[in-house]
């Protein structure tokens, strides 16, 4: 994971979600702060320690957005 360069990765996430790159960076920074970490690798470790499942449809994954 440490090989991932943050800027292109944030840009790709933003494109997939229809968000600006800076919005992705802002949210990631807030998540890192809540977890007490400074990078993605540390965030993954912290999330695993908390026992939070993540990924496609895993328990703890966000529910799908409803189309209203």
> Would residue 41 count as lying in a domain?
yes
6-64 residue pLDDT tens: 667 999 999 999 999 999 999 999 999 999 999 999 998 998 899 886 655 555 555 55
Predicted TM-score (pTM) of the model is: 0.64
Evaluate the CA torsion angle 1, 25, 56, 51 in order and state its sign.
Answer: positive
H/E segment holding residue 19: none
If we measure between CA atoms, which residue out of 12, 46, 48 comes closest to residue 31? 46
Q: Which domain holds residue 24?
A: 6-50
> Would residue 55 count as lying in a domain?
no
> Would residue 68 count as lying in a domain?
no
What is the distance between the alpha carbons of residues 54 and 50, in angstroms, rounded to a whole number? 11
> Would residue 67 count as lying in a domain?
no
Q: How many domains does the chain have?
A: 1
């Amino acid at each position: 994971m440490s090989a991932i360069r943050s800027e292109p990765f944030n840009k790709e996430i933003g494109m997939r979600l229809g968000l600006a790159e800076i919005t992705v960076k802002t949210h990631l920074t807030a998540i890192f702060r809540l977890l007490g970490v400074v990078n993605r690798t540390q965030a993954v470790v912290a999330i695993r320690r908390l026992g939070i499942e993540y990924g496609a449809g895993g328990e703890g994954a966000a529910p799908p957005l409803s189309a209203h």
